[in-house]
Amino acid sequence: MGLPIPRSMMIQSSGRSLSIDFFSDEEVQKIFLEISDKIAADKRRSEKHKRYFLLVQFLYRTGARIDEVLIVKPSDINLGTNSIRMKTLKQGKDKNGIQREKYRIIPLHSELRDAYMQYLLEMNISTKSEDPLFPMSRQVVDLYFKKMQDKLGFRIHAHKFRHTFAVKAIMDNVPLNVLQQWLGHSSVFTTSIYTQITGMDTSEFMGRVR
């Protein structure tokens, strides 16, 4: 997924206006540069900033929800198959009304793999560890992004990375049903909202949905 993407915009969906907020390539670069600068400048808390650098890579390269990323364990990441076993938190109930655990497989992007391997090596973490890779709360993550937002001058929040991932995937012609699986959407029609950003014709993919 290497094509440049536009700024956020308002799009129409189901007869109502929805705001899809996503990062430009320049904004993503500024975020990574800001965290890299913190790693170099703040030696005492460099481990903290390295953890956030990897967290942003996870959000940006998987499109997963922040609460899903925060429970990822090294044991969920298969370096042999280059894949991540992600627990889907937004799940429906079965026919008996029982909530079932559901997982999806997301391919491991090469840049995320490199960042992940480097992090494990520097932090001396086993690839088989059952401890959360990011032992932090959603509120702490929100505060970190808020401080960065105030400094960089544009909106930064975890879900914006998810939208950015989806927009980039659509622009790079990832089939809609594949993107649906990666994002963990229960319906392909939820995923199709992103096609309206580029005016993409979805008819080709609709025939593949069973």
Angle among Cα 181, 186, 189 to the nearest 5 degrees reads 90
**What letter represents residue 102's amino acid?**
K
Please, which residues have CB within 8 angstroms of residue 147's CB and are 6 or more apart in sequence?
none
CA distance linking residue 156 with residue 147, whole number of Å: 9
In sequence order, which ranges of 5-157 are alpha helices (DSSP H)?
Answer: 25-41, 46-62, 66-69, 110-123, 138-152
Query: In which band, very low, low, confident or very high, does the pLDDT at 27 lie, cut at 50, 70 and 90?
Result: very high
What are the tokens at 49? Answer: 């900033």
Of the candidates 148, 149, 190, the one whose C-alpha atom is nearest the C-alpha of residue 166 is 190
Band (93; pLDDT cuts 50, 70, 90): low
Q: Of 142, 168, 135, 136, which Cα lies nearest the Cα of 157?
A: 142
pLDDT reading at 84 higher than 90: yes
What's the pLDDT band for 191 if we cut at 50, 70, 90? Answer: confident
* Mean pLDDT, residues 48-69 taken together: 97
- Which tokens in the block code for residue 34? 């800001």
User: Is 146 a residue whose pLDDT tops 80?
Assistant: yes
pTM (two decimals): 0.84
Collapsed DSSP state (helix, strand, coil) of residue 9: strand
